[in-house]
Amino acid sequence: MLCSDGTKKLSFGGSIKDGDLVIVYEKRDVMKAVKVSETSVLQNRFGVFKHSDWIGKPFGSKVLSNKGGFVYLLAPTPELWTLVLSHRTQILYIADISFLITYLEIVPGSLVLESGTGSGSLTTSLARAVAPTGHVYTFDFHQQRAASAREDFQSTGVDSLVTVGVRDIQGEGFPDEYSGLADSVFLDLPQPWLAIPSAGKMLKQDGTLCSFSPCIEQVQRTCEALKSNFRDIRTFEVLLRTFEVHEGKIDSCQGDEGLSVGSPPCKRRHRSSEGSTKQDSSSSPTIKVRPCSDARGHTGYLTFSRLQCLS
């Protein structure tokens, strides 16, 4: 699909075609990525699903198996791709990704440099953020990891927005050809302070940098290295707390003394003008909310800074 200026539009919708990558949703938190092939089948505990039945259906469709079971066919958006991709390395999740994209001020048309690529979780979201006219140049020192990430980007359709390179950024720095061109730089490295001088040369004036580190000792050394050429140095830890929402019933109405803290007030019996007695059902549905027991804890620290403008 093309935009009005003739550039390619990044789209995760439309109808499913032979060769497309789809996310098969079986039940909550059970998903897998499947490449559609007209002659293939998917078999799980819900039955056998023919790929040929998927072709031509829109993403989001519910499809039935030979046993009457069903799955949903979802488009490989960056959010879903993060959940199903092969974790070749530790990855960033949506809470960190959404925060850093906003704080790095990445918008359509931005040029972003990233090191290292890893499993490509962040890179896929960066590609969507810079589309349709921007570009992401991502580097990893591990040749096989870079090749695998390149294949994943082709599968998800973002390869036109991402260029993958093999390079040791800590030892060699970013290529000189990007000097002064980058709007933002992201570092996910064991020793990010070694790459900061090179990152500063790549950024435009007032450009932004983010470094992701799992340990506070890494953050301290990174901040020391940033002091010479960067300002507005800030470090964040993003902790996401999710809640489960269920519809339940209150079995009986207790007196005010028996109400626990936070319990909804009981509906009391009252008499209408005709003398008939009315009472709201004590077993009427109510909404119950509680924190999830498997909430994800610490992932890492995000350190942001901005290149100092020349006076």
Model confidence pLDDT, tens digit, residues 156-189: 889 999 999 999 999 999 999 999 999 999 999 9
Domain residue spans of the chain: 21-76, 80-239+299-307, 242-258+267-293
Give me the mean pLDDT over the 1-20 stretch: 60
Angle at 46 between CA 40 and CA 50, to 5 degrees: 20
For the cut 90, the answer to whether the pLDDT of residue 248 exceeds it is no
Instruction: Inform me whether the pLDDT recorded for 211 exceeds 80.
Output: yes
Q: Is the pLDDT of residue 252 over 80?
A: no
pLDDT, position 31: 85
pLDDT at 297 over 90: no
132: pLDDT strictly greater than 90: yes
Domains 21-76 and 80-239+299-307 share a fold: no
Higher pLDDT, 244 or 214: 214
Count the Cβ atoms, other than its own, within 10 Å of residue 247. Answer: 8
Average pLDDT value over all residues in the chain: 84
Q: Is the confidence at residue 107, as pLDDT, over 80?
A: yes
* 203-213 and 182-187 strand pairing: parallel
Model confidence band, residue 2 (pLDDT cutoffs 50, 70, 90): very low
**Residue 264 confidence class, pLDDT cut points 50, 70, 90:** low
Query: Cα dist. 52→42, 86, 275 in Å?
Result: 11, 26, 65
β-strand pairing of 270-271 with 21-27:
unpaired
Instruction: Decide if pLDDT at 109 tops 60.
Output: yes
- Give the C-alpha separation, 11 to 158, whole Å: 9
Residue 150 above 90 pLDDT?
A: yes
Average pLDDT score over residue span 84-110: 86
At residue 221, φ and ψ (nearest 5 deg) are -70, -35
Confidence of residue 202 (pLDDT cuts 50, 70, 90): very high
Q: What is the pLDDT of residue 94?
A: 86
pLDDT band at 256 (very low <50, low <70, confident <90, very high): very low
Residue 37's pLDDT band, with cuts at 50, 70 and 90, is very high
CATH code: domain 21-76 is: 3.10.330.20
State yes or no: pLDDT of 257 exceeds 70. Answer: no
Cis before 214 (ω within 30): no
- Between residues 24 and 6, the one the model is more confident about: 24
Q: Give backbone dihedrals phi and psi of 218, rounded to 5 degrees, phi first.
A: -65, -40
Cβ atoms of residues 55 and 17 within 8 Å: yes
pTM, whole model, 2 decimals?
0.72
Query: What is the rounded distance in angstroms from the CA atom of residue 311 to the CA atom of residue 281?
Result: 72
Average pLDDT over residues 219-240: 95
pLDDT for residue 253 is more than 80: no
> Rounded to whole angstroms, how far apart are CA atoms 123 and 96?
13
Which pLDDT score, from 0 to 100, does residue 68 have?
86
Q: Which of 35-49, 70-84, 148-162, 180-194 has the lowest mean pLDDT?
A: 70-84
Please state the CATH superfamily assignment of the domain spanning residues 80-239+299-307 in this structure: Vaccinia Virus protein VP39 (3.40.50.150)
pLDDT at 127: 94
Stretch 132-139: mean pLDDT: 97
Q: How far apart are CA 158 and CA 131, in angstroms?
A: 9
